[in-house]
Amino acid sequence: AGASSGGNSAYPSFSSRIAFIIVTAGSAVGLGNVWGFPYVAGQNGGGGFVLIYLLALAFVAAPAFMAELMLGRMGKASPPNALGRLQAKAGSRLHWPLVGWTGLVGTILVLSFYAVIAGQAMDYAIEAAKGGFAGWSDHEVQALDADFKSSMPMMALWSAIFMGLTALIVSFDINTGLEKAGKVMMPALLMILLGMVIYSGNTGDFGAAVDFLFGFHKMDVTPRLFLEAVGQAFFTLGVGVGGIMTYGSYMGSNVNLPRATLWIVAMDLFVALAAGLAIFPLVFSSGVSAAAGPGLVFLTLPLIFADIPGGAVVAFAFFLLLTFAAVTSSISLLSPTVARLEEAGWSRRKGAVLMASLAVIISLLTAYSFAGGKHVFPLAALGLDGMTFFDLIREGVSNFILPLSGLAYALMVGWALSREEVRKALPMEDGLMFRLWHGVIRYVAPICITALFIGAVAG
Ligand code: TYR
């Protein structure tokens, strides 16, 4: 059973349009939205960064996301094989499957740090359930974070638990595993998030949060800022590693692809902004720094939960939200390699266990980066001064693998496949919307991504 390498009718498919949208939105909505967006926006000064991020989302990442879904639905196989088929169709001599293989490596790299951070979220959810952070001092909150991050066995254990859960869900067929998980966790996540925004709006400084995220502030516009904004836009949608292509391959021909894309991008953006509006009002009313960095949700939020009314409940809800967001994304990250192994005759269960174990082993590099503190720079010898393995993996994936794959997708869809073929695959009428998107995929996205890299190298 399951996927064979032929594009036959036995190829699995999500059971309905809504199931497809929920599961794929679950993939997009992840740690990148709730943990990543607030801290990256915070570090980069708010408003201006958010504006560039929105532009990058609209003109580069979302059109590329649509292209990736389309490639998946056209290719109906794991990313390397789907792209191999499309290469043949386009009669191209370039090696398209290479982009698929790079993506597969990317999925495991993302999982390797996802597992540690999701593990910390799970650990904190348990801490919150035991009575929250009520009355904790600055020192105690820092000690909790430091305890977690200094203990390799603890991080490895949580990483294994998180990946075990992920592998369990992925080992079922897609309608039982991926779909059920999405249908339970996504609505729960949205409810908890809305509850938090309302709570923060009443308890914290909502005006300051809105001004920070959407107001205009003087800031330095550097190539680095663009790279971060574009990287965040790609990461948040999950474009570029083949998770989306794999979900696209399970998308029925009855799904309106452009409309589904709009829904998913809108939901992803909504969650990122809502996470910002849940976190920053509390940050500003408590006087902690918005630029706290990756520790924002673990170092800063518990301090705030420590002295607000109902803090324990809010804390538990928040870390549960973070965990759900992570799981609905990690199952998408594990799917492409498992699909590829299925094509090689493996069972889903065996494939899921093998790839999850690999992710756990590589996650030790992230754990080591945390345990060694910020001051261990094992890569200095390579000229990557000031970077840990975690930094290297996170930035390497979001700022390089994702945009470069996005560029490859844009060139495949915009230039190598024929315009008619692409239009019929979506399908879209030959109207303004299609022309706009096709123009963006053909010119705007490739030019922006290329300019970005030139800027990053030169700057
Ligand atoms: N989009 C997810 C996030 O924002 C990360 C992710 C990346 C998920 C690629 C899936 C995927 O295939 O956290």
The answer as to whether 223 is a domain residue is: yes
Q: Which has more confidence, 238 or 227? A: 238
Q: Which residue type sits at 338?
A: V
**Residue 58 Cα to ligand 1 middle (Å):** 17
- Residue 413 has a pLDDT of 98
- CB of 31 shorter than 6 A to ligand 1: yes
Measured from the Cα of 243, ligand 1's closest atom is 12
User: Where do we find the tokens 């705007």?
Assistant: 444
Spacing of C-alpha 222 from chain mean position: 24
**Residue 329 Cα to ligand 1 middle (Å):** 5
Measured from the Cα of 30, ligand 1's closest atom is 13
Residue 268 has pLDDT above 90, yes or no: yes
Range 439-449 average pLDDT:
96
The answer as to whether 228 is a domain residue is: yes
Range 68-88 average pLDDT:
98
The answer as to whether 1 is a domain residue is: no
Residue 453 has pLDDT above 90, yes or no: no
Please choose, from the candidates 217, 224, 265, the residue with its C-alpha nearest in 3D space to the C-alpha of residue 244: 265
Q: What is the mean pLDDT of the chain?
A: 92
Residue 373: pLDDT band (50, 70, 90) is low
The answer as to whether 10 is a domain residue is: no
Rounded Cα distance, 256 and 394, in Å: 33
Are 52 and 433 contacting, i.e. CB atoms less than 8 angstroms apart?
no
Residue 194: pLDDT band (50, 70, 90) is very high
- Residue 380 has a pLDDT of 67
- CB of 109 shorter than 6 A to ligand 1: no
Q: Would you state the structure tokens that stand for residue 338, as one six-digit string? A: 């498992």
**Residue 278 Cα to ligand 1 middle (Å):** 21
Residue 9: pLDDT band (50, 70, 90) is low
**Site to substitute for ligand 1 among 329, 397, 398, most atoms within 8 A of C-beta:** 329
- Residue 5 has a pLDDT of 41
**Site to substitute for ligand 1 among 33, 112, 332, most atoms within 8 A of C-beta:** 332
Rounded Cα distance, 105 and 257, in Å: 27
Report the domain count for the chain. Answer: 1
> Percentage of the chain surpassing pLDDT 90?
75
Cα Rg of the chain (Å, integer): 21
- Sorted by sequence, the CB contacts under 8 Å of residue 59 that are 6+ apart come out as 440, 444, 445, 448
Range 169-173 average pLDDT:
97
Range 130-134 average pLDDT:
87
- Sorted by sequence, the CB contacts under 8 Å of residue 422 that are 6+ apart come out as 70, 413, 438
Measured from the Cα of 114, ligand 1's closest atom is 13
- Max mean pLDDT among 26-30, 295-299, 454-458 falls in 26-30
The answer as to whether 163 is a domain residue is: yes
- CB of 248 shorter than 6 A to ligand 1: no
- Residue 456 has a pLDDT of 75
* Lowest-pLDDT choice from 89-98, 248-257, 284-293, 382-391: 382-391
Q: What is the CATH number of the domain that holds 217?
A: 1.20.1740.10
- Residue 381 has a pLDDT of 65
Range 415-426 average pLDDT:
97
- Sorted by sequence, the CB contacts under 8 Å of residue 317 that are 6+ apart come out as 192, 195, 196
- Residue 399 has a pLDDT of 83
- Residue 374 has a pLDDT of 55
Range 62-72 average pLDDT:
98
Q: State the residue range of the domain holding 24.
A: 17-458
Range 280-285 average pLDDT:
90
Residue 2: pLDDT band (50, 70, 90) is very low
Please choose, from the candidates 371, 397, 286, 328, the residue with its C-alpha nearest in 3D space to the C-alpha of residue 34: 328
Q: Is the ipTM of this complex over 0.90?
A: yes
* Lowest-pLDDT choice from 78-92, 136-150, 153-167: 136-150
- Residue 379 has a pLDDT of 66
Are 27 and 181 contacting, i.e. CB atoms less than 8 angstroms apart?
no
* Lowest-pLDDT choice from 265-274, 392-401, 428-437: 392-401
Residue 272 has pLDDT above 90, yes or no: yes
Range 109-132 average pLDDT:
95
Range 341-353 average pLDDT:
98
Q: Whose CA is nearest to atom 7 of ligand 1?
A: 238
* Lowest-pLDDT choice from 66-75, 241-250, 304-313: 304-313
Range 134-149 average pLDDT:
90
